[in-house]
């Protein structure tokens, strides 16, 4: 288990703030027990920030027949919908909600070339809201595998999320399981799959990024 690079500055700033607030709290007249409580709460807050940016070590043998989960979390949507931004046709949508306690790295579900990438500014509705997929701040990525099959990945900001980081760039090659982004502090990832895909997850299921098989092509 390591620390993701997106957390380096935030963790450093949090450590400095903790170093300032801890001794300052000792200057305030209050019962000793209350001082201990403040220090414990500050320590827990710092621990939570460090934990949020954890980067688990996971191995994956790429398989072009499978679509691998892009994020840790819970399946909150599983349905056939019209995808209007890129495909403009019906696809299978599988959405994974990432709580603040989940790992927030995003991985590529398939190997292939990045055919499309676009960032959209937007609202900050709660990530499980049905309209968050089309109205929230988001980034859309489309990866096409060697067989010409395209999978769309959409990173969506939530009520707490205020920054989506996307590493994918049009024309770049990615391997299944490569990091394609990071979303800070609560979010959602949507996958749009071909209608013929055999979905292997169910609504409400807990899934693990770079491990859980979402579907078979």
Cα(69)–Cα(75) distance, integer angstroms: 10
Angle at 209 between CA 86 and CA 111, to 5 degrees: 50
Cα(24)–Cα(27) distance, integer angstroms: 5
Query: How far separated are the first and last CA of the chain, in Å rounded?
Result: 31
Measured over the CA atoms of residue 68, residue 74, residue 79 and residue 83, the dihedral's sign is negative
Which is the catalytic residue, given 108, 111, 187, 197? 187
Angle at 40 between CA 34 and CA 45, to 5 degrees: 130
Residue 115, burial from CB neighbour count under 10 angstroms (0-12, 13-18, 19+): middle
The answer to whether 133 is a known catalytic residue is no
Catalytic residues: 187
């Amino acid at each position: 288990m390591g620390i993701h690079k997106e957390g380096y500055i935030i963790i450093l700033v949090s450590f400095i703030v903790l170093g300032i607030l801890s001794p300052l709290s000792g200057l305030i007249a209050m019962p000793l027990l209350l001082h201990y409580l403040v220090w414990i709460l500050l320590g827990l807050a710092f621990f939570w920030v460090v934990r949020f940016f954890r980067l688990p070590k996971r191995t994956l043998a790429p398989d072009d027949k499978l679509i691998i989960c892009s994020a840790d979390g819970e399946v909150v949507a599983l349905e056939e919908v019209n995808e209007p931004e890129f495909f403009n046709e019906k696809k299978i949508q599988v959405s994974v909600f990432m709580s603040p306690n989940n790992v927030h790295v995003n991985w590529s579900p398939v190997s292939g070339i990045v055919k499309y990438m676009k960032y959209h500014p937007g609202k900050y509705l709660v990530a499980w809201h049905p309209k968050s997929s089309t109205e929230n701040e988001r980034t859309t990525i489309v990866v096409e595998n060697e067989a010409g099959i395209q999978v769309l990945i959409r990173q969506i900001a939530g009520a707490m999320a205020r920054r989506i980081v996307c590493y994918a760039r049009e024309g770049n090659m990615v391997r299944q399981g490569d990091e394609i982004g990071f979303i800070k502090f609560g979010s959602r990832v949507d996958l749009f799959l071909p209608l013929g895909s055999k979905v292997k997850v169910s609504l409400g299921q807990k899934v693990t990024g770079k491990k859980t098989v979402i579907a078979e092509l």
